[in-house]
Amino acid sequence: MITSRPFTPILGSVVMLSLLSKTGAASLRQPILRSSSVGLMNQQRGCAFWPFAWPRLPGTPTFYHTTWDRDFDPYVEEDNNPEIPRNDYGVPAHIPPEIGQSIKHTFHVPPQYYPFLKKLGDDTPDLKPYTDMLINGEMTYEKYEEMFYRFAKPLKIYRSRIPQPYRTDAEIAQEDSVAWEGAWYSFRQRIMADYYTQYRFRDHLIGALIGFAIAAIMVDQHRQSRVDMKLYYLEAPEHKINWVKPRGDL
């Protein structure tokens, strides 16, 4: 005897998924007909805020919509992006060296600096080849090092022109007063910190105690309501609601 499986669950799943796909709760990306409706939902899952907000009812707004191409593979486990190893010029390590080293890396200068570079080259003939390289986009790092070490000069420091710290006799006489004022401000800050700590902790403790008191009242109300309902069903049989008649064997 040949039996056929009911098509209703699969058809219902297809209709539900089509509605969810329009609202951002699921997506139809694989063949629809599966051997089981549960397997269908597992294979076709695409959700928002998985697993907390799935499935959503049709028409429910979602914050964003996330899908992935593998079967039941959470996207949070796919967030595996290690840093790509690179050489000194930023070329990824998976590119062969004979290809990566053939890439000519040059410095880029915005066009608004071209007039300044051209004038600098005209004023300094020795620098003109390097400024022309910068303008033409041909300045490599090796050429930059050559230019730097050829034209850089050591910095001459005129220490006699650097002002030394100086205080007048009146300022030196106020040294003890300034130290006392600093200690007084530090003392006030410590007192203020202690006061804030105490009153904030006190407010937090009082709030917690009030919450415990309200919770105790709610628990007692619940207990008393259960006692009242038990007495109601036991002592007022004429007012019983949906009362089950005893069968006599209990």
Q: What pLDDT, on the 0 to 100 scale, is given for residue 8?
A: 41
Residue 89's pLDDT is what? 79
**Are residue 73 and residue 116 in the same domain, yes or no?**
no
32 domain-assigned: yes
3-state secondary structure of 140: strand
Please indicate, yes or no, if residue 18 is contained in any of the structural domains: yes
pTM for this predicted structure: 0.31
- The token duo for 129 is 């080849």
Q: Does a structural domain hold residue 3?
A: no
Residue 167, domain member (yes or no) = no
- Kindly state whether residues 64 and 124 are assigned to the same domain: no
Quick one: angle between helices 128-136 and 114-123, nearest 10?
A: 160
**pLDDT greater than 80 at residue 205:** yes
Last residue of a domain, one of 88, 116, 151: 151
Dig out the tokens for 40 from the structure: 């269908």
Residues 47-68 pLDDT 10s: 444 444 455 566 666 676 666 6
pLDDT band at 196 (very low <50, low <70, confident <90, very high): very high
Could you read off the pLDDT of 99-145 as tens digits, one per residue?
888 888 899 999 999 999 999 999 999 999 999 999 999 999 899 99
Domain count, the chain: 2
Please report whether residue 194 resides in a domain. Answer: no
Q: How far is CA 137 from each of CA 113, 124, 141, 193, rounded to the nearest angstrom?
A: 13, 20, 12, 60
Q: Which of 151, 170, 186 is the last residue of a domain?
A: 151
Q: How many CA atoms lie within 13 A of 196 on its CB side?
A: 6
12 and 74 together in one domain: yes
Strands (E), 18-78: none
* pLDDT for res 97: 86
Domain range for 35: 8-78
Residue that is last in its domain, among 151, 167, 182:
151
- Domain-embedded: residue 127: yes
Q: Is the pLDDT of residue 178 over 90?
A: yes
Q: For residue 64, give the H/E element and its range.
A: none
Q: Let me know if residue 206 belongs to a domain.
A: no
pLDDT at residue 239 in the model = 63
122 and 74: one domain? no
pLDDT exceeds cutoff 60 at 29: no
Q: Give the whole-angstrom CA distance, residue 114 versus residue 55.
A: 60
In a domain, 28, yes or no: yes
